[in-house]
Amino acid sequence: MKILHKGLLVEKLTRQQLGKVVLPDSVEDDWFRGKVISIGPDIEQDIKVGDIVIFPPPPPHLGNYPTIGDGGYIILSENMILALED
């Protein structure tokens, strides 16, 4: 798959895959984390393949983020990325 413009293909990470943060099951995540799989050619930020990015849940009017395959991969716009995790 070829990602266009300022898009990113991100593998959404589960709690088990994160490793660094341990939260009880009763705590719901307000923010999502994912691993960057592919980036578009027009990305302006310092985002690279393999980075762990933090992004918000989709806005209510959007529904869900577009998914690829079994739902583990999502397509995001560069402006949806809030932070890079160390």
Please state, in angstroms and rounded to a whole number, the distance separating the CA atoms of residues 6 and 24: 35
Q: Judging by beta carbons within 10 Å of its beta carbon (0-12, 13-18, 19+), is residue 27 exposed, middle or buried?
A: exposed
In a domain, 63, yes or no: yes
Model confidence pLDDT, tens digit, residues 23-39: 555 545 556 899 999 99
- Looking at residue 67, its pLDDT comes to 83
Q: Which domain holds residue 41?
A: 7-85
Model confidence pLDDT, tens digit, residues 11-27: 988 755 555 555 555 54
Count: domains in the chain: 1
- Looking at residue 16, its pLDDT comes to 57
Model confidence pLDDT, tens digit, residues 34-66: 999 999 999 988 999 999 999 988 878 878 888
* Of 8, 20, 14, the residue nearest 81 (C-alpha): 8
In a domain, 39, yes or no: yes
In a domain, 1, yes or no: no
The CATH code of the domain that includes 12 is 2.30.33
In a domain, 12, yes or no: yes
In a domain, 2, yes or no: no
Phi, psi dihedral angles at 26 (to 5 degrees) = -75, -15
